């Protein structure tokens, strides 16, 4: 009887080991006290109602209540701290992913360069005689390409090998700058004097510095657009927005509304909401910029996707982006998703568009299906997917029982209905398909570019092959 009771108490443990002992103590004390009371009640019939005993009981009762209150307060405090740590962890994951993508693309570029070095020299001479090619390339080759140029130009006198340290230093500095910088309302990069790290100040020329600044500006300006059917004026995506303007844009009688993120002062993220001219039931939401503050889980996936997509669009994974410049729009329909994803660099800023309007009722709720074969295996356990999974859990806990978190590492994805547009945005952020679509779209563009414009047909440039 008694061992059974103790086992029950131990099984009530939570994740806070520090609490466990105190809680156990409390519960054990309670039970011991109850048992003692029972024993006393049975054996001291003649003396149980004395005043001394009553006051003693009251005292113990108060102590017990106080202990319980203390433990509860401690538990709440630890819970709050746990939530904060979760948010911080998500942020760190985001930063890690962006940095990793930069590094991988840089290394790929270097490999490609080494392989093509002899031929590239010839081409370079020819290009210099026809300057237009260089100019055109420089325009879009501002992402990792620019960083790689910086790295290579700086290290060419040292070693033919890509040492990594200067590259990393530069990439790090850019990442760090992106994180630490206070952005202007326009999302442009501030120009604090001496933002470059002291580690490698000689590596970067004035021209490179400007290119790097332009790169980061373009990354900030890269956009993710979501098309979804909604009757509401704006889909809720987990963030707080304040409307700061409205315009009638040319070619669309529906006004375009401008929103600014108000979750933190100075957050540069904006979004535009406009109804489609052809189909007024379609709401087009365009996100721009990176949040400068921790996000709620509901907004995490979207924000990280925006950031990752923007970075990838301009990254060295695309040796230059003239491929998509030429093709303007690259549509991809993923096997694992009914969402149509398009990439466009013909707009003033590169834009990833996810069209959810073609995703009606083809699938029943909670039906799992194999993940896209185009999806890189190493991304299955990626923070972005984890965030999506977390979000699924979050939404489920919010009462949205239609969303079931699944373990993507088991090659399954989550399917959610798109019929109810009130939850469309949440579904977008919760949908691993969304991120998968973006990753595959970007990878596809790289392949597209290689097929069309680059004599390097190495498919390992695709994100999906990076892990192999």
Minimum CB–partner distance for residue 292 and DNA (Å): 15
272 in contact with DNA (CB under 7 A): yes
The residue among 104 and 189 lying less far from DNA, judged by its C-beta, is: 189
- Calpha distance 45→43 (Å, rounded): 6
3-state secondary structure of 387: helix
Site residues (CB under 7 A) for DNA, limited to 228-247: 240-247
Within 407-446, the residues that bind DNA by CB under 7 A are none
Token pair, residue 124, equals: 């370079």
Listed ranges 30-38, 183-191, 350-358, 418-426: which one lies at the site for DNA (CB under 7 A): 183-191
Helix boundaries (H) for 244-296: none
Alpha-carbon radius of gyration of the chain: 29
Which pairs count as long-range contacts for 411-414, CB under 8 Å and 24+ apart, including other chains?
A: 411/370, 411/371, 411/380, 412/368, 412/369, 412/370, 412/371, 413/336, 413/368, 413/369, 413/371, 414/368, 414/388, 414/389
Site string for DNA, 74-103 (x = CB under 7 A): ------------------------------
DSSP label at residue 419: S
Instruction: Tell me if 353 sits within 8 A of 324, measured CB to CB.
Output: no
Smallest gap from residue 306 Cβ to DNA (A): 15
C-alpha 291/C-alpha 295 separation (Å) is 8
Helix (H) or strand (E) holding 373, with range, is none
Distance between CA atoms of 147 and 102, rounded to whole angstroms?
A: 9
Minimum CB distance to DNA, residue 280 (Å): 17
Minimum distance from residue 202 beta carbon to DNA (Å): 30
Asked if 292 touches DNA (CB under 7 A), the answer is no
Q: Could you tell me the smallest distance in angstroms from the CB atom of residue 246 to DNA?
A: 3
The binder of DNA chosen from 164, 187, 197, 405 (CB under 7 A): 187
| Separation in Å, CA 241 to CA 21, 264, 271, 310, 443 | 44, 10, 9, 21, 32
For the bound state, the minimum distance from the C-beta of residue 267 to DNA, rounded and expressed in Å, comes to 12
Decide whether 112 or 230 has the Cβ nearer to DNA: 230
Q: How far is the CB of 219 from DNA (least distance, A)?
A: 16
Q: Quick one: which of 99, 95, 90, 98 has its CA closest to 391?
A: 90
In the bound state with DNA, the residue whose beta carbon lies nearer, of 301 and 309, is 309
- Identify which of residues 263 and 406 has a Cβ nearer to DNA in the complex: 263
454 in Cβ contact with 323 (< 8 Å): yes
Tokens of 164: 């990594």
C-beta of 122 vs 250, nearer to DNA: 250
**Alpha carbon distance 181, 396 (integer Å):** 36
Site string for DNA, 247-266 (x = CB under 7 A): x-xxx----xxx---x----
**Residue whose CB is less far from DNA, 57 or 256:** 256
How many residues sit close enough to DNA to count as binding (CB under 7 A)?
Answer: 21
Nearest approach, Cβ of 148 to DNA (angstroms)?
Answer: 25
Q: Per-residue x/- marks for DNA, 141-180, CB under 7 A?
A: ----------------------------------------
Classify 16 as helix, strand or coil: coil
> How far apart are the C-alpha atoms of 439 and 376, rounded to whole Å?
9
HSE-CB at 465 with a 13 A cutoff on CA atoms is 11
Phi, psi for residue 226 in degrees, rounded to 5: -125, 125
Nearest residue (CB) to DNA, 128 versus 243: 243
Taking CB under 7 A as the criterion, which residues in 323-342 touch DNA?
none
296 binds DNA (CB under 7 A): no
Question: For residues 66 and 246, which CB has a smaller minimum distance to DNA in the complex?
Answer: 246
Interaction mask 347-386, DNA, x per CB under 7 A: -x--------------------------------------
CA 432 centroid distance within chain: 11
List residues binding DNA (CB under 7 A). 185-187, 240-247, 249-251, 256-258, 262, 270, 272, 348
């Amino acid at each position: 009887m008694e061992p059974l009771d103790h086992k029950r108490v131990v099984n009530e443990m939570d994740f806070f080991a520090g609490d466990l002992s105190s809680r156990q103590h409390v519960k054990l004390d309670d039970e011991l006290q109850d048992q003692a009371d029972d024993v006393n009640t049975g054996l001291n019939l003649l003396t149980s109602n004395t005043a001394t005993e009553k006051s003693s009981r009251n005292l113990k009762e108060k102590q017990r209540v106080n202990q319980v209150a203390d433990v509860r307060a401690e538990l709440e405090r630890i819970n709050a701290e746990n939530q904060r740590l979760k948010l911080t962890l998500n942020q760190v994951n985001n930063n890690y992913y962006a940095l990793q993508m930069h590094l991988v693309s840089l290394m790929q570029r270097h490999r490609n360069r080494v392989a093509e070095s002899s031929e590239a020299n010839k081409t370079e001479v020819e290009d210099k005689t026809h300057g237009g090619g260089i100019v055109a390339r420089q325009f879009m080759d501002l992402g990792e390409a620019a960083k790689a140029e910086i790295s290579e130009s700086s290290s060419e006198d040292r070693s033919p090998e890509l040492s990594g340290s200067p590259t990393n230093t530069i990439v790090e500095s850019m990442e760090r700058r992106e994180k630490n910088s206070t952005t202007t309302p326009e999302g442009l990069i501030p120009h604090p004097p001496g933002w470059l790290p002291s580690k490698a100040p000689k590596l970067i020329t004035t021209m490179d510095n400007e290119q790097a600044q332009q790169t980061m500006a373009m990354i900030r300006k890269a956009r993710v657009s979501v098309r979804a059917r909604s009757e509401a004026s704006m889909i809720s995506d987990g963030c707080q927005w304040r409307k700061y303007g409205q315009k009638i844009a040319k070619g669309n009688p529906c006004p375009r509304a401008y929103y600014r993120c108000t979750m933190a002062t100075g957050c540069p993220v904006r979004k535009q909401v406009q109804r489609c001219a052809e189909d007024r039931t379609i709401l087009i939401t365009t996100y721009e910029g990176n949040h400068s503050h921790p996000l709620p889980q509901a907004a995490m996936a979207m924000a990280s996707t925006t950031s990752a997509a923007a970075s990838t669009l301009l990254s060295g994974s695309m040796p230059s982006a003239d491929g998509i410049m030429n093709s303007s729009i690259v549509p991809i329909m993923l096997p694992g998703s009914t969402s149509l994803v398009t990439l466009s660099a013909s707009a003033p800023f590169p834009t990833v568009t996810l069209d959810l309007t073609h995703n009606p009722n083809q699938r029943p709720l909670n039906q799992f299906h194999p993940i896209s074969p185009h999806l890189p295996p190493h991304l299955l356990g990626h923070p972005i997917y984890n965030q999506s999974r977390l979000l699924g859990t979050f939404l489920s806990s919010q009462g949205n029982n239609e969303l079931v978190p699944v373990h993507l590492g088991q090659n399954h994805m989550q399917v959610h209905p798109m019929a109810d547009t009130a939850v469309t945005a949440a579904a977008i952020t919760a949908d691993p398909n969304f991120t998968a679509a973006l990753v595959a779209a970007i990878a596809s563009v790289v392949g597209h570019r290689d097929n069309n414009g680059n004599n390097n047909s190495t498919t390992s440039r695709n994100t999906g092959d990076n892990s192999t």
